[in-house]
């Protein structure tokens, strides 16, 4: 490798052979950057999709279980309704019996009260005759016996009527209590019937949701396959471009009379055994001691290389620099 002067390096990087090579190099690097970003993005997409599929699958499984639970509740409600309906028939039968009994008691009370009323009427008539002045002594004696007899019958009839009223009240109370029970049973039956229908609807809806989730799982799995295929193609293209770039670098290493690692070119400087010219093939703003531009000529030490990269100084004739002399002899320029 021949040491170079600054002019040689500048002429070289402006030559058609180098600029043509550099165009290809820049194009491949740009494509490489885009492809790497694309490949990484596709991998992220595929992983996120896989995660989503796993989540949706789990959600679908849970939803199917939930649909099963709703179906179970519907069946339980239906069975409960059957039982309650049976109970309601029995309660209604009991009510009918009690209703009839209350009706009989009411009739019995009516009879007892009528008998009591008749006895009281007869007692009144007997007393009226007894108190009449025209009633003969013999007749008066008979009436007195009748009055005593009627009074005794009235006491008995009163007791009978009172007993009949009590029995009627008990029968009516039992009848009303049974009726309340019938109404409660009907209310329970209504609730059970409505619950059964609603749980049946819920189970259908939840099963539909599960089906939709499984459809999404199916679609997302297809999308994963598509993304994986796209990632595979991007990876293949990436390898092709990397290979082309490597070939281009190998070609440059063979044909350009300098050192090319991968992103910087170096040439020994003709009249400086400690230093080398360096031409970046990329822009780098953050990781070197200065911000460098592609295709600009810089200087590096042969020991340190890129550890310290310097701009190339333009020659200045320091032997004839009038500035210090002027500073001391003519005063100081103001700030």
Q: Which residue has the tokens 């009436």?
A: 143
Interacting residues toward another protein by CB under 8 A:
283, 285, 289-293, 308, 310-311, 313-316, 318, 321, 323-324, 327, 332-333, 335
CB of 316 to another protein, least distance (A): 5
Nearer to another protein, 183 or 270 (CB): 270
CB of 310 to another protein, least distance (A): 5
Q: Count of alpha carbons within 13 Å of 265, Cβ hemisphere only? A: 26
CB of 300 to another protein, least distance (A): 11
CB of 272 to another protein, least distance (A): 12
Q: Are strands 264-269 and 305-311 parallel, antiparallel or unpaired?
A: unpaired
Nearer to another protein, 318 or 329 (CB): 318
Nearer to another protein, 121 or 291 (CB): 291
Nearer to another protein, 137 or 313 (CB): 313
Q: Which of 245, 282, 256, 267 is nearest to 312 (CA)?
A: 267
CB of 283 to another protein, least distance (A): 7
The sheet carrying 298-301 orders its strands as: 259-260, 264-269, 272-280, 298-301, 305-311
CB of 240 to another protein, least distance (A): 32
List C-alpha distances in Å: 241 to 23, 24, 144, 237, 290. Answer: 14, 11, 142, 6, 30
Nearer to another protein, 7 or 285 (CB): 285
Nearer to another protein, 90 or 291 (CB): 291
Nearer to another protein, 16 or 334 (CB): 334
CB of 279 to another protein, least distance (A): 14
């Amino acid at each position: 490798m021949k040491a170079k002067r600054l002019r040689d390096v500048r002429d070289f990087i402006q030559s058609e052979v180098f600029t043509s090579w550099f165009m290809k190099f820049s194009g491949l690097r740009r494509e490489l950057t885009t492809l790497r970003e694309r490949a990484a993005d596709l991998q992220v997409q595929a992983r996120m999709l896989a995660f989503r599929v796993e989540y949706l699958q789990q959600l679908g499984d849970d939803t199917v279980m939930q649909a099963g639970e709703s179906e179970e509740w519907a069946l339980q409600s239906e069975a409960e309704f059957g039982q309650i309906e049976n109970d309601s028939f029995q309660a209604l039968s009991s009510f009918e019996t009690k209703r009839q009994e209350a009706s009989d008691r009411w009739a019995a009370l009516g009879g007892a009260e009528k008998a009591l009323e008749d006895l009281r009427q007869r007692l009144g008539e007997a007393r009226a005759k007894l108190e009449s002045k025209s009633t003969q002594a013999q007749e008066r004696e008979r009436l007195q016996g009748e009055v005593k007899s009627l009074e005794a019958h009235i006491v008995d009839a009163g007791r009978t009527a009172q007993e009949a009223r009590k029995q009627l009240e008990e029968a009516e109370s039992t009848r009303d209590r049974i009726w309340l029970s019938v109404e409660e049973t009907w209310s329970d039956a209504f609730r059970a019937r409505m619950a059964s229908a609603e749980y049946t609807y819920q189970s259908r809806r939840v099963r539909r949701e599960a089906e939709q989730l499984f459809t999404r799982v199916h679609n997302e799995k297809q999308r994963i396959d598509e993304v994986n295929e796209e990632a595979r193609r991007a990876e293949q293209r990436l390898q092709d471009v990397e290979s082309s770039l490597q070939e281009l670098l190998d070609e440059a290493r063979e044909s350009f009379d300098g050192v090319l690692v991968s992103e910087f070119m170096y040439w020994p400087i003709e009249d400086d055994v400690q230093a080398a010219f360096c031409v970046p093939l990329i822009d780098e703003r953050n990781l070197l001691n200065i911000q460098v531009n592609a295709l600009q000529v810089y200087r590096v030490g042969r020991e340190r290389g890129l550890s310290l990269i310097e701009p190339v100084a333009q020659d200045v004739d320091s032997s004839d620099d009038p500035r210090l002399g002027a500073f001391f002899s003519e005063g100081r320029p103001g700030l």
